[in-house]
Amino acid sequence: MTLANRNFKMVKTIAEFFLILRVNITSDQTQKAFGKVLTKLGCTAPLVPGFCIQKKVSMNLSVGEYKDEFECFFGSVGASCELGVMDDLFDSSLNLEDAHYKEGYDEAYNHGLIAGKEEARQVGLKVGFEVGEELGFYRGWVDIWTSTIQVDPTCFSPRAKMIIAQMEELIQKYPLMDPENLQVQEIMDSLRVKFKMVCSSMHVKLEYNGYPKSSTEANDIQF
Partner 1 sequence: MELKEIQRLEGHTDRVWSLAWNPATGHAGVPLVFASCSGDKTVRIWEQNLSSRLWECKTVLEETHIRTVRSCAWSPSGKLLATASFDATTAIWENVGGDFECVSTLEGHENEVKSVCWNASGNLLATCSRDKSVWIWEVQPGNEFECVSVLQGHTQDVKMVKWHPTEDILFSCSYDNSVKVWADEGDSDDWQCVQTLGEPNNGHTSTVWALSFNPGGDKMVTCSDDLTLKVWETESIGMQSGGGFAPWRHLCTLSGYHGRTIFSVHWSGEGIFASGAADDAIRLFVEDTESQAGGPLYKLLLKKEKAHDMDVNSVQWSPGEKPLLASASDDGTIKVWELVS
Among 85, 95, 197, 208, interactor with partner 1 by CB under 8 A: 197
Q: Which of residues 90-149 bind partner 1 (CB under 8 A)?
A: none
Site stretch for partner 1 (CB under 8 A), options 73-81, 100-108, 126-134, 191-199:
191-199
Contact yes or no for 163/146 (Cβ under 8 A):
no
Tell me if 203 contacts partner 1 by CB under 8 A.
yes
Among 11, 142, 160, 191, interactor with partner 1 by CB under 8 A: 160
CB of 128 to partner 1, least distance (A): 25
| Binding residue count for partner 1, defined by CB under 8 A | 17
CB of 189 to partner 1, least distance (A): 7
| Sequence-separated (6 or more) residues with CB below 8 Å from residue 37 | 23
Closer CB to partner 1, 39 or 157, in the complex: 157
Tell me if 199 contacts partner 1 by CB under 8 A.
yes
Tell me if 212 contacts partner 1 by CB under 8 A.
no
| Sequence-separated (6 or more) residues with CB below 8 Å from residue 50 | 11, 73, 74, 75, 76, 77, 81, 85, 88, 89, 92
Helix, strand, coil in percent for the chain, rounding step 5: 60, 15, 25
Report the alpha-carbon distance of residue 4 to residue 7 in Å, rounded.
5
Calculate the CA dihedral of residues 30, 37, 69, 48 and round it to 10 degrees: 150
Beta bridge partners of 142: none
Residues listed for the chain: 223
Tell me if 187 contacts partner 1 by CB under 8 A.
no
Site stretch for partner 1 (CB under 8 A), options 8-16, 63-71, 115-123, 157-165:
157-165
Binding site for partner 1 (CB under 8 A): 157, 159-160, 189, 193, 196-197, 199-201, 203, 205, 213-215, 218, 222
